Amino acid sequence: GENVEQHPSTLSVQEGDSAVIKCTYSDSASNYFPWYKQELGKGPQLIIDIRSNVGEKKDQRIAVTLNKTAKHFSLHITETQPEDSAVYFCAAKGSQGNLIFGKGTKLSVKP
């Protein structure tokens, strides 16, 4: 079945450093890849997304890259701040328009 693998499961960085989270997907027909940030006690919130006709997208300190051939996509956060600490989920759009989520990465940014 459709599957999304996400690594690492936990990531600790110093404030100001960069953080990279990587995902792979199994369904070559997937054409939409969002990234969600989930803070404690809240629902996931979209932070950036990318469609399969684009290789890279950037929004201020956040960027996402997509390699369709390898079925990889990655989230890059530069100049990390303590408020970036949260759980981040990657996802891929499934055949029915639903989202298949990775297991999440707990990012800790130390001041």
What residues line the site for other proteins (CB under 8 A)? Answer: 4, 6, 32, 34, 36, 41-46, 49, 51, 89, 91, 93-94, 96-104
Residue closer to other proteins (CB basis): 40 or 70: 40
Residue closer to other proteins (CB basis): 16 or 51: 51
Shortest Å distance, C-beta 72 to other proteins: 17
- Positive or negative CA dihedral for 68, 72, 73, 77? negative
Token pair for 56: 């890279």
Report the first-to-last Cα separation within the chain, whole angstroms: 41
Shortest Å distance, C-beta 79 to other proteins: 25
Shortest Å distance, C-beta 7 to other proteins: 13
Q: Is 93 helix (H, G, I), strand (E, B) or coil?
A: strand
* Backbone phi and psi for residue 44, each to the nearest 5 degrees, phi listed first: -60, 145
